[in-house]
Amino acid sequence: METRRDEVANWDSFAYISFIVAVETEFGIKFGVAEVESFQNVGAIVQRIDAILAARSKTKGVV
Protein backbone atom coordinates (compact mmCIF):
# COMPACT_ATOMS: atom_id res chain seq x y z
CA MET A 1 0.00 0.00 0.00
CA GLU A 2 3.00 2.24 0.59
CA THR A 3 4.48 1.36 -2.80
CA ARG A 4 5.33 4.43 -4.83
CA ARG A 5 5.83 4.74 -8.57
CA ASP A 6 9.53 5.49 -8.27
CA GLU A 7 10.10 2.27 -6.32
CA VAL A 8 9.07 -0.15 -9.07
CA ALA A 9 11.67 -1.32 -11.56
CA ASN A 10 11.00 -0.41 -15.21
CA TRP A 11 8.09 1.75 -14.17
CA ASP A 12 7.42 4.62 -16.54
CA SER A 13 4.52 6.87 -17.44
CA PHE A 14 3.18 4.38 -19.99
CA ALA A 15 3.24 1.57 -17.43
CA TYR A 16 1.48 3.83 -14.94
CA ILE A 17 -1.29 4.75 -17.39
CA SER A 18 -1.66 1.08 -18.36
CA PHE A 19 -2.08 0.27 -14.68
CA ILE A 20 -4.66 3.04 -14.27
CA VAL A 21 -6.54 1.74 -17.34
CA ALA A 22 -6.55 -1.77 -15.85
CA VAL A 23 -7.89 -0.49 -12.51
CA GLU A 24 -10.55 1.62 -14.22
CA THR A 25 -11.61 -1.31 -16.41
CA GLU A 26 -11.72 -3.78 -13.53
CA PHE A 27 -13.87 -1.55 -11.30
CA GLY A 28 -15.84 0.20 -14.03
CA ILE A 29 -14.77 3.64 -12.81
CA LYS A 30 -12.96 6.64 -14.26
CA PHE A 31 -10.39 8.90 -12.59
CA GLY A 32 -9.89 12.51 -13.62
CA VAL A 33 -6.54 13.68 -15.07
CA ALA A 34 -5.63 15.62 -11.94
CA GLU A 35 -6.47 12.67 -9.68
CA VAL A 36 -4.23 10.35 -11.65
CA GLU A 37 -1.37 12.80 -11.20
CA SER A 38 -2.03 13.25 -7.50
CA PHE A 39 -1.89 9.60 -6.38
CA GLN A 40 1.21 9.26 -4.22
CA ASN A 41 1.08 5.50 -3.61
CA VAL A 42 -1.06 2.39 -4.08
CA GLY A 43 -2.91 3.15 -0.83
CA ALA A 44 -4.15 6.46 -2.23
CA ILE A 45 -5.56 4.69 -5.28
CA VAL A 46 -7.30 2.07 -3.13
CA GLN A 47 -8.84 4.81 -0.97
CA ARG A 48 -10.13 6.61 -4.03
CA ILE A 49 -11.62 3.41 -5.48
CA ASP A 50 -13.36 2.73 -2.16
CA ALA A 51 -14.74 6.28 -2.10
CA ILE A 52 -16.07 6.08 -5.67
CA LEU A 53 -17.67 2.67 -5.09
CA ALA A 54 -19.19 3.77 -1.77
CA ALA A 55 -20.67 6.89 -3.38
CA ARG A 56 -22.07 4.76 -6.17
CA SER A 57 -23.74 2.21 -3.87
CA LYS A 58 -25.24 5.06 -1.83
CA THR A 59 -26.87 6.67 -4.85
CA LYS A 60 -28.21 3.26 -5.88
CA GLY A 61 -29.53 2.69 -2.36
CA VAL A 62 -27.52 -0.50 -2.00
CA VAL A 63 -25.81 -1.22 1.32
How far apart CA 54 and CA 14 sit, in angstroms, is 29
- Footprint on residues 26-55 left by other proteins (CB under 8 A): 26, 30, 32-33, 36
Binding part of the chain for other proteins, among 1-9, 15-23, 44-52, 53-61 by CB under 8 A, reads: 15-23
What is the size of the binding site for other proteins (CB under 8 A)?
Answer: 12
- Binding residues vs other proteins (CB under 8 A): 13-14, 17-18, 21-22, 25-26, 30, 32-33, 36
